[in-house]
Amino acid sequence: MKGFIIALQFMTRIPLFITIEMDNKDFGRSSRFFPLVGLVIGTILALAYYFANWFFPPLVLGALILILEIIITGGIHFDGFIDTMDGILSARPRERVFEIMKDSRVGAHGVTALLCLVLLKFSLLVSLSSSYILFILLLMPVLGRWAMVFCLAFFPYAKPEGLGKIFWEETDKVQWYLITGLIFLLSFIFLPNVFLIIFVITLLVALTPMLLINKKLQGHTGDTYGAINEITEVIFLLICLLVL
């Protein structure tokens, strides 16, 4: 429970009014609860959609859901996505990419990439099958954070230090396999089986940006974990649109 609360406080702006004493190990170990935090976010999004659907047309609903997700997370993963795109798309050498990613100023590459991401995510949200939309909204944040844990477990950390390294040091492949087994078991019991296929396809497609970033940076960083979350969510929505 301690790890879940730490993860929830770190990854969302949900007020808990709880103070927890922790060290770096506690903070790092909270990564195993990232998908559960995604489930909390997804539950809020699905409930919001269910009730708002009575009052608003699809275009407005899509915008509201997107805005609500940003409010819940504080845009933490958008920030990582922007920094990552600023660096990767600059086509500079590795060390210069890190300098660009660390720069607090937002560059043209980051802004352009964010606009493309938001437009694509919005268009997918308003185009998805109404029969499955609640399931999709529930699962979208789970899949994004599931992919983050995959990156933590299977790829090296690209820098000598950084906030993301705390999570990387406390995350291993066994944890990811256990998380994946639990996700698949619960999905098999409670969801249409087609989602199991969608999960596998989503991860396989998401491997492409993971590998490209890993090749460029010789690993991943805290910013790229956030970027992978956002990219995986969009990939999941796209696969749902094609399959469902």
pLDDT tens digits, one per residue of 210-220:
999 999 999 99
Instruction: Indicate the SS3 state at residue 221.
Output: coil
pLDDT, tens digit, 9 for 90 and up, residues 118-156: 999 999 999 998 899 999 999 999 999 999 999 999 999
Phi and psi at residue 56, in whole multiples of 5°?
A: -125, 150
pTM for this entry: 0.95
Helix, strand and coil in the chain, % to nearest 5: 75, 0, 20
Report how far apart the first and last C-alpha atoms of the chain are (Å, whole number): 35
Secondary structure (DSSP) of 117-133 = HHHHHHHHHTTS-TTTH
pLDDT, tens digit, 9 for 90 and up, residues 1-14: 788 999 999 999 99
Residues 6 or more apart whose Cβ sits within 8 Å of residue 163: 222
What are the extents of the domains in the chain? 2-243
Task: Look up residue 57 and give its two tokens.
Answer: 């047309």
